[in-house]
Structure 1
Amino acid sequence: MRTFSRFLAKYKGYVLFAISLMLIELAVEVAQPFMMSKVIDEGIIAGQTNSIFVWGGLLLGTTVLAFGVGILSSFYSAYASQNFGFDLRQKLYDSIQKMSTNTFGKFQEASLLTRIGNDVNQVQNAVFMGMRIMLRAPLLVICSLIMALALNVQLALYLVIAFPILAVFLGWLMVRNNRLFRRVQQMLDQVNKVMQQSLMSVRLVRVFGRMSHENSQFQHKNNELRSRTVATMVLAELSSPVVLLLINGCILLMLWAARDLLNNGSNVSVGEIVAIVNYAMRITGALSMIAMIVNTVARASASMQRVDEVFETADQEQDHAEQPEEELHIEGDICFSGVGFTYPESNMDTLSDISFHVKAGSMMAIMGATGSGKSSLLQLIPRMYNADVGVITIDHKPVESYPLHQLRMNIGYVPQEIMLFTGTVADNIRWGKLEATMDEVIEAAKLAQIHEAIMDLPQGYETMIGQKGVNLSGGQKQRVSIARALVRKPSILLLDDCTSALDAETERRLLDAIGQLQCTVLLVTQKMSTTVRADSILLIDEGRVIKQGSHDELMVHASLYRKIVQSQWGKEREAQWMSNKQRELTAP
């Protein structure tokens, strides 16, 4: 509720004005049955034409007034609710963007999509209804009861008895529906998850001929959503028949009692009876609206709780998105001291007692078997995750001491899984530095050895790239991604096995170009041709550092490294290297 009020407070003036207009509309609606009774009693029955014109004209004039203020109230209600939804959706998206990787992993992507879309829409609709009918409906019931009692207590008493019964029923319905609608939203998450995974892997699904299997999975989740929604809506729609049954029963009893009063000559007029029945009908309509409001509030309440979960769970890193007045420059000296890390909700250590040092401006290759922790190690440097134990320093300062935005602006990162966006080639490269000029984009592309390939495309740098770069080869996508990292001229360059699709000659030219840059390079690779070019090599196995040193040092002191060399170069080349090394050692 606090989050709800905080976002709506910005539009307090519009909300109050819309509610004020609604109250005028309500006053007219409450007064109309009374005016009708005057038309009947003082005009039609008494035969006074002037009274008919006076009260009838007043009735017509107030109806036109209510029509005008109703339109204005709807406009301001829509303005406030739409802007409320815009702000809430924007803040929710911003919170998701600022989540640490740990926190982001607590939510399914499909669930976040549902929350930022469907859930915000539910709350937004509730805000609009709140200004238009959520306050109006109960006030209409209360005012209509008061006016009915003022006209005739005996007849209105039936409505007074029915009202608390309906209030208790609708209160129970709202609490019950809140839980049910929350489950429906959770089931919608599951449907979106299956749909998202299937659409993202549509080519793979078709290649393996798994369309029927995926369709069956979606149908299963869709059936569960339908069953849950139907069960919820059956209970939700039960409110209207109950309200109509009870109020219409009251009207019948009132008419029966009115007949007895008229027959007994009691002081009750036909106009009063018509007015009270009219008030009863308005109460019926208002209670039907309240029943609808109960369902809307229950759904919106469940949605707001899900939105609040994101705000409460998001441990937004204390960082300011604004560029600082003085840009931070990092030299790139990196040191790990006794670093340990375990992924959230995992019982196995990913990294244990990792210690190494990389001098600024040097290149270090990281080697190890699949699952040894190479990618996890890289992600600790830009603080995608925070180390559980140990210290990571950059330029002899703990990474936690740097403002997160400044730290990451000095790092170029190319992940193992290449992600390109729909847009031009230039836009994808410029994504690494939004203010980059075209000359800077071309320079980065040349360093990444992709410039010539781009120029061969139909529109060169303005060629549109499909979703995930479907119209580029694997090697081209890798090089565009590398150019995206290089365009920001980073002090630290992290390359996570992102040259696997490059041929030997292209990779050689790429490494030559990177070697000319004034930056520290950490390169995860499985290629010996790449590893031997590094100033130092870090050998990792099962989350622990086996050895750090040059190629020559590891060939002598690390048996695991020799096995890797042998698997790629063969025994003859290894024996030749050992023979050459021995001659160097024995030479005078």
Structure 2
Amino acid sequence: MKELKSIHKFFYKYKWKLLIGVIITIIARIFSLFLPPYINKSITAVQNYLNTPDASLTEVKDELILYILIIIGTTLLSAFFTFLMRQTIINVSRYVEYDLKNEIFKQYEKLSLGFYKKNRTGDLMNRISEDVTQVRSYAGPAIMYSIQTITLFICVIPIMIYKSPTMAMYTLIPLPFLSILIYKISKVIHERSTSVQAYLSDLSAFSQESFSGISVIKAYSIEPETNTSLVNLANEGKNRSMNLAKVNAWFMPLMILMIGLSTTLAIYVGGMQYINGEINSIGIIAEFIMYVNFLTWPVAIVGWVTSIVQRAEASQKRINEFMSLTPEIQNEVDTHTPVEGEITFKNVSLTYDDTNITALKNISFTIEKGQTLAIIGKTGSGKSTILDLIGRLYDTTEGTIYIDKTPIRKMNLSDLRNSIGAVPQDAFLFSDSIKNNIKFGKASATDEEVIEAAKKAAVHENILGFNKKYETVLGERGITLSGGQKQRVSIARAMIKDPQIYLFDDSLSAVDTETEEQILNNLRKISSEKTTIIVSHRVSSAKNADKIIVLEDGQIIQQGSHNQLINQEGYYKELYLNQLSEKEN
């Protein structure tokens, strides 16, 4: 159970609720223990009446009525406290589940982009859902039933020994054998539980990828192949689950067998003692049978709880694998560090850990506050990497980036990112209204501000064309909109933020040149005091920039203004002439 130690802090957090739950559990079980002795007394009273010729029937009736009232009263009290028990301990398990999910999600938010390149979304989702559910069962039902079991064993076994040591000895003989069998089976359950949880992650990942890529599946007509893969996964999961179920299936039959043996021994040994005159009432046999039945559920629950604990430990181990990771990007500054907008790259290189590809090699340039930098280059030349480094989504392998002459690692990470309005190459929109997607850049924005930002991004007229206009709810990843519309909503989101630094990563590639020109003109009006970096394949997006750099294989091969570069032989001039020729044609 060493993996489960990591959630003990939650037990300490809710220690008073748990303590009350433990006390209530003990009280509930103690009240239930009034039943067997009063059953014994009731049978003994009837037996004495039958064996005593001059006994008073009225006295026996009064005695039985008293015993029945005590039995009913204590049973009702036991039921009431059992209800309270579930309201405390089970509620604590839900609090633990809530806290654990939040803790995992916060860790997911802290982890760097490299982590998400190495791990599948479906697997991450499974760990925060299915695995947490398994841990919750340990934090609630397992604890509750364990306390019940311990309480009953502590109370019932001494009572049985006190009432009849011989009957107790014979009745309890099967229990040690049951404990040994449970221990053996639990080891197998742990191994197979781990296997089942790992499979569930594979299934979640496959399902998530299939749903996200359904358009590709349909376009290539590979539904049969996809279904075959799912069937193979499902069969594998069935086999693993069946292997686990086969082991779990041993628990209940073994419990019933052992309890049956205990009951048989109680009747036989008790009957022989009564015949031999060693006990003076047959009611004690009935009392012992009830004690055995009381132990039936606790003994049975030992196996169930063992299974829960094993599965929870397997799940928590999978959770701990990510919780123990230290985010590569750390906020090293707690103080406030405002951003003006000057950016300097000094001998910057970056090699991606996951691919070992060197994306940037000894890059150096400076952008003054209020200037616009355009970055041109072929696919894979390192353009987007520069933007990622400015947002500190990655840290440099070599060299230093300065923001306002301060090393970027000495900037407060929250202040840095809050000062940036980024528009990624692959515009990501949430399954929410268009208005809320734009307000993602500024949660407190008014409707007027949202409309103004949409106008600047040249998407306002498109939005008005929808039935619900700005309240139109988008499909997953914004699938409701066209590529150009998604880009422009994403641009509106950045504009409404009014940041100190704009980062546009080829974010006008899906719009026509007329709309592109309109957006760039609006951007120039609002960014006169802002630093703007535009990554593009189009000269039309770069020509008005204060500075242009051309990348090839992670290195700067040209830099200067538009007029300077078109008068130099090289990549920029060739690109300009080619695009000019295409436009004329």
Please say if 1:454 is aligned against 2:463.
Answer: yes
Contact 1:151 1:276 in 2 (8 A): no
1:83 to 91, 95, 101: 95
Match in the other structure for 2:207: 195
Match in the other structure for 1:536: 547
Please list, as runs of the form range in 1=range in 2, the aligned pairs for 1:283-432 lying within 5 A after superposition. Answer: 283-315=295-327, 329-432=338-441
Please say if 1:64 is aligned against 2:67.
Answer: no
2:478 to 469, 486, 502: 469
Distance 1:332 1:572, change over 3 A: closer
Distance 1:172 1:352, change over 3 A: farther
Match in the other structure for 2:175: 163
Deviates more, 1:453-462 or 1:508-517: 453-462
Please list, as runs of the form range in 1=range in 2, the aligned pairs for 1:8-87 lying within 5 A after superposition. Answer: 8-47=11-50, 48-87=60-99
Q: Structure 1 CA distance, aligned partners of 2:300 and 2:434?
A: 57
Contact 1:15 1:131 in 2 (8 A): no
Match in the other structure for 2:124: 112
Please say if 1:183 is aligned against 2:195.
Answer: yes
Deviates more, 1:41-50 or 1:212-221: 41-50
Identity among equivalent positions (%) equals 29
Contact 1:173 1:294 in 2 (8 A): no
Measured after TM superposition, the shift of residue 570 of structure 1 is: 4.8
Please list, as runs of the form range in 1=range in 2, the aligned pairs for 1:487-498 lying within 5 A after superposition. Answer: 487-498=496-507
Q: Structure 1 CA distance, aligned partners of 2:492 and 2:429?
A: 12
What amino acid sits opposite 2:178 in the alignment?
Answer: L
2:216 to 204, 207, 212: 204
Q: Structure 2 CA distance, aligned partners of 1:496 and 1:502?
A: 14
Q: Structure 2 CA distance, aligned partners of 1:120 and 1:439?
A: 43
2:276 to 260, 264, 270: 264
What amino acid sits opposite 2:540 in the alignment?
Answer: S
Distance 1:567 1:159, change over 3 A: farther
Q: SS state of the match for residue 284, structure 2?
A: helix
TM-score (norm 2): 0.91
Q: Structure 2 CA distance, aligned partners of 1:383 and 1:141?
A: 59
What amino acid sits opposite 1:416 in the alignment?
Answer: Q
Contact 1:191 1:221 in 2 (8 A): yes
Q: SS state of the match for residue 534, structure 2?
A: strand
What amino acid sits opposite 2:115 in the alignment?
Answer: T
Match in the other structure for 1:586: none
Q: SS state of the match for residue 372, structure 1?
A: coil
Q: Structure 2 CA distance, aligned partners of 1:305 and 1:10?
A: 21
Match in the other structure for 2:56: none
What amino acid sits opposite 1:81 in the alignment?
Answer: S
Measured after TM superposition, the shift of residue 470 of structure 1 is: 2.7
Please say if 1:439 is aligned against 2:448.
Answer: yes
Q: Structure 2 CA distance, aligned partners of 1:205 and 1:104?
A: 23
Contact 1:337 1:354 in 2 (8 A): yes
Please list, as runs of the form range in 1=range in 2, the aligned pairs for 1:544-563 lying within 5 A after superposition. Answer: 544-555=555-566, 559-563=570-574
Q: Structure 1 CA distance, aligned partners of 2:410 and 2:21?
A: 49
Distance 1:571 1:274, change over 3 A: closer
Please say if 1:523 is aligned against 2:523.
Answer: no
What amino acid sits opposite 2:513 in the alignment?
Answer: A
Residue deviations 1:41-67 (CA, integer Å, cap 9, x gap): 244445544443333322221111111
Q: Structure 1 CA distance, aligned partners of 2:119 and 2:185?
A: 30
Deviates more, 1:185-194 or 1:134-143: 134-143
Residue deviations 1:214-261 (CA, integer Å, cap 9, x gap): 211211111111111111121122122122222322332343333333
Q: SS state of the match for residue 427, structure 2?
A: coil
Q: Structure 2 CA distance, aligned partners of 1:174 and 1:545?
A: 62
Contact 1:321 1:405 in 2 (8 A): no
Distance 1:44 1:263, change over 3 A: closer
Deviates more, 1:392-401 or 1:150-159: 150-159
Contact 1:414 1:496 in 2 (8 A): yes
Which structure 1 residue ranges, 5 or more long, are not aligned? 574-588
2:519 to 498, 501, 510: 510
Please say if 1:149 is aligned against 2:161.
Answer: yes
Give the aligned CA root-mean-square deviation in angstroms.
2.5
What amino acid sits opposite 1:448 in the alignment?
Answer: A
Residue deviations 1:483-509 (CA, integer Å, cap 9, x gap): 101111111111111101111111112
Measured after TM superposition, the shift of residue 409 of structure 1 is: 0.8
Measured after TM superposition, the shift of residue 314 of structure 1 is: 5.0
What amino acid sits opposite 2:548 in the alignment?
Answer: I
What amino acid sits opposite 1:66 in the alignment?
Answer: S
Q: Structure 2 CA distance, aligned partners of 1:383 and 1:558?
A: 34
Q: Structure 1 CA distance, aligned partners of 2:483 and 2:249?
A: 54
Contact 1:528 1:565 in 2 (8 A): yes
Please say if 1:230 is aligned against 2:242.
Answer: yes
1:255 to 247, 253, 267: 267
Contact 2:343 2:402 in 1 (8 A): yes
Match in the other structure for 1:95: 107
TM-score (norm 1): 0.91
Contact 2:550 2:556 in 1 (8 A): yes
Measured after TM superposition, the shift of residue 86 of structure 1 is: 1.7
Distance 1:124 1:320, change over 3 A: farther
Deviates more, 1:61-70 or 1:358-367: 358-367
Q: SS state of the match for residue 324, structure 2?
A: helix
Q: Structure 2 CA distance, aligned partners of 1:316 and 1:271?
A: 71
Q: Structure 2 CA distance, aligned partners of 1:335 and 1:102?
A: 24
Q: SS state of the match for residue 356, structure 1?
A: strand
Measured after TM superposition, the shift of residue 567 of structure 1 is: 4.0
Deviates more, 1:93-102 or 1:194-203: 93-102
Contact 2:175 2:258 in 1 (8 A): no
Distance 1:106 1:470, change over 3 A: closer
Distance 1:158 1:105, change over 3 A: farther
Match in the other structure for 2:229: 217
